[in-house]
Structure 1
Amino acid sequence: MNRALRYATVGVIAVSLLGGGTAAAFAVPKDLHSSASVVATAPAAASLTAKASATRVNAWQEFRISGDAKGLKAGTKVTVQQKQGTKWVSLPAQTPVNRTGTYSVRVKLGIKGVNQLRMGAGSTVSPVVQVTVR
């Protein structure tokens, strides 16, 4: 269905609902270039995976966190988040999702001990990865 027809359909339904009608009173038009009916599909839920290149590092030693970003557009920024106390804090380490749906970011940590990290893009977050800093 072309864009103008979609906007017109949405406008008619919105006016109907605001005027007290029901959306069911309007038929969804068929695509003008096809005999198939229009099928509405929900967008896939976004998800992130994360894997650290090392589980034990020295203070300020560089390592990488990489993973897959499903349901996120290429160019979407993913940010490293660190659990500090009870809060998740975004670190100044971020990278865009590439066109194949993957990412890789370099990270350096100075807080000694077990660090809990995850990747975040908006409300989408990865599972937690742990990196111990010596």
Structure 2
Amino acid sequence: MDRFRRASAAALLTAAVLAGAVGGAVASSGVPAPPSGERAQDPATRPALSAHATARDVAAWEEFRIHGSARNIHGSARNVGSGTPVTLQQKQGERWVTLPATMRTADSGEYSLRVKLGMRGDNALRIAGGGAVSPVLRTVVG
């Protein structure tokens, strides 16, 4: 009888471990989870960020701007709330690093961020804020 209990416990433990592994695989499926403390949003009302750089090639520490708008997906007339903070992120290796360049959107959802980069070479940049990220921008620093 004791062997049966141990075998049952081992089977339950194996099932729990396998369920955790499957759950982890689902969690890492590439679908971004909402930031902590936020509920998942309906895709029709989820914000989207656009971003455009004023320069493709710049010298080290030369100022340029990234401007764009924060709007809801599907062309909804309702913008992301005014005053939503947007932040510049730079890809460093395999990680996106948040740089100390942040501003709040205007009443219209528009923003224009001043940027100076010192890391020479091809830089991948994006804007994050309001639960969304912009498409990746490329800027070459010479």
Identity value in percent: 48
* Aligned residues of 2:47 and 2:131 also touching (Cα < 8 A): no
> TM-score normalized by structure 2?
0.63
Q: CA deviation at 1:95?
A: 0.9
Q: Give matches, 1:1-134, under 5 Å.
A: 44-71=45-72, 72-134=80-142
Structure 2: runs of 5+ lacking an equivalent: 1-41, 73-79
> TM-score normalized by structure 1?
0.67
Provide the aligned C-alpha RMSD in A. 1.6
Partner AA of 1:88 in structure 2: W
Q: CA deviation at 1:123?
A: 3.4
Instruction: Measure, in 2, the Cα distance between the counterparts of 1:63 and 1:57.
Output: 8
Partner AA of 1:120 in structure 2: A
Structure 1: runs of 5+ lacking an equivalent: 1-40
* Aligned residues of 2:47 and 2:130 also touching (Cα < 8 A): no
* Aligned residues of 2:54 and 2:64 also touching (Cα < 8 A): yes
Q: Which secondary structure does the structure 1 equivalent of 2:64 belong to?
A: strand
Alignment: residue pair count = 94
Q: After TM superposition, where is structure 1 displaced by more than 6 Å over at least 4 residues in a row?
A: none
